A = this chain, B = another copy of it.
């Protein structure tokens, strides 16, 4: 373990050269994301796998910064194993630009259709996170308990595949289903998928990953708050909007900590 901590401290020293999140100067939504989206997809996938938000399933994508009509997503592979070499490019019909015989995710249409419907979205995360699944099958709406999950205050809709598509295998395996999901997402940050998992979106991979994590945490805590009995004092929409602005400010600090945690898995 001593060797591991040496490399961590080395990475830490390297990262200390990056601009810090200065709590007195809001960084703003799009800032703090100099890192190539590919690197962030790799790190973000491993972060969420490390936290148990992603298991053998789920995926992280980013809109191509050079071409809004394309997005970056790994080949079909467990998130914990994703490397830069696994990242492929897709168009918004879900077709791989240069497949070279690599397997693709069946559910790439989750990504393609959301990128179509939401020009503001630069990253999409799909999980089967355990905290969220009970809410997806329940009538109880997911609502934010605290500031790190403030983005839930605008609402977390539930997409149920059954009304439009009948009895299916639950997967978003074509653009028609993807379109239905994107419609349910609307202008929100999160959409739950009944009997499946969820999708979180954001203006950067880092923010989409942050939201995937805190959606799961909030779900677990909300269940507990409900189990206590009595009223629960959720964030109001106004509190949600203001607190979410702070999440952008603190994003880099949190990302750096999380990246250190998965550094060993990248041989760093």
Binding site for B on A (CB under 8 A): 1-7, 9, 12, 20-24, 56-57, 76-78, 80-81, 103-106, 128, 130, 133-140, 144-148, 150, 160, 162, 166-171, 194-197, 217, 220-236, 238-239, 242-243, 245-246, 249-250, 253-254, 256-258, 260, 264-265, 267
Contact = CB atoms under 8 A, between A and B. Distances in A.
Contact of A2 (B135, B236, B256, B267): B267
A221 B223 CA distance: 11
Contact of A167 (B133, B196, B236): B236
Number of copies: 4
A49 B72 CA distance: 34
Given A23-B104, A160-B233, A223-B224, 5 more contacts: A12-B81, A23-B76, A134-B145, A136-B146, A194-B233
Contacts of A77: 253
Residue of A5, A136, A228, A232 most packed against chain B (CB within 10 A): A228
Contact of A239 (B130, B167, B224, B231): B167
Closest 6 CB pairs of A and B: A167-B238, A169-B242, A134-B225, A56-B254, A78-B257, A23-B106
A131 B50 CA distance: 21
Contacts of A9: 267
